[in-house]
Structure 1
């Protein structure tokens, strides 16, 4: 999907979710569908967001798909993430069990996983979707 970024967003920082093109595509679709409203990252990742900051989210091919706005940042240890946050991440069956399994694997691939690792837990809202989506998904 090709999308043009409106001038009002061109200054925003850009990122893709996940660690592969396939995961980036899967996760940005959940955002566009309104299912995914939260994410987390290891505390040592360089792209720390702040509430009110907007970001352009890229798909797996590096194309801009949408703009999100950070609404909340909280620090939690991996083993302290609760079912509500796991549900808001929107992945799999949205359970805490699924979240733990998927994120152990993800942070393991990055060589960072520890049960007590500190995470940056972020909530966000969808601002705008780019591209030629059906009207009911805009």
Structure 2
């Protein structure tokens, strides 16, 4: 059994959770950023995230309220479990400063969040052979740390 599955099974046992499914992932790209963002989640500072809705592939799980997630650091080690509380599809240019603040990154300002996400999403879209615009639909997710 791998370390992620073991971590998940221990969590289920400790919290008497019957759920059998979970997603395991890290935030960001690159070990340093992934470590930093995992730490922010673990500390309860980062309680939200945003992904580009159009880039979910057919059949890929789209986050929804009630989901459990094993958050990984940059080395693929589990650091905590979160539970998704809310998801909402919103055009990028209509995401509120409050959501940006809850993402917990940088100085937590809307401008910081905006600049980082334009850069990140532009690269994601380019890799998919598409062009990012500020009206693309985004999945805004709010979660809480449960372990």
Q: Normalised by the size of structure 2, how large is the TM-score?
A: 0.79
Q: Which moved more, 1:11-20 or 1:76-85?
A: 11-20
From 8, 16, 30, give the equivalent of 2:12.
8
Deviation at 1:11, TM superposition (A): 4.9
From 52, 55, 60, give the equivalent of 1:42.
52
The residue correspondences of 1:84-123 to structure 2 (distance < 5 A) are: 84-110=98-124, 111=126, 113-123=132-142
Q: Which moved more, 1:38-47 or 1:91-100?
A: 38-47
Please state if 1:68 is matched with 2:82: yes
Give the structure with the larger helix fraction. 2
Deviation at 1:34, TM superposition (A): 1.0
Q: State the distance in 1 between where 2:89 and 2:121 align.
A: 16
Q: Which residue is equivalent to 2:17?
A: none
Q: Which runs of 4+ in 1 moved over 4 A?
A: none
Q: Which residue is equivalent to 2:144?
A: 125
Query: How many pairs align?
Result: 127
Q: State the distance in 2 between where 1:108 and 1:22 align.
A: 20
* Unaligned segments of structure 1, at least 5 residues: 129-138
User: Which structure would you say has the larger Rg?
Assistant: 2
Q: State the distance in 1 between where 2:63 and 2:84 align.
A: 7
Q: State the distance in 2 between where 1:11 and 1:31 align.
A: 20
